[in-house]
Amino acid sequence: MFCQSVVAAKWDVAPFYATLNWTQYQAARAQTAVTIAELMQLDYMVLLQESATEAGESRQSEANTTSGS
């Protein structure tokens, strides 16, 4: 979701994330993981890394908590 190509392209994702409450954000995050797993049929997948970056970029402060992660 958050990668150097998005930063380099100067895509402003903040307005989109601002439309989501925490429940909607969690549901979308889970659906994204399911879609990736189904399409790519991976042997393993890292579901969480850099929670502080995710919280900062998404403006979802709960993403950087133990229960939110």
Return the pLDDT at 1. 52
pLDDT along the chain (69 residues), means of 10: 58 85 93 91 85 86 85
Residue 63 and residue 51 in contact, taking contact as beta carbons nearer than 8 Å: yes
Return the pLDDT at 50. 87
Return the pLDDT at 34. 92
Task: Read off the pTM.
Answer: 0.72
- Burial status of residue 45 (CB atoms within 10 A of its CB: 0-12, 13-18, 19 or more): exposed
Return the pLDDT at 26. 92
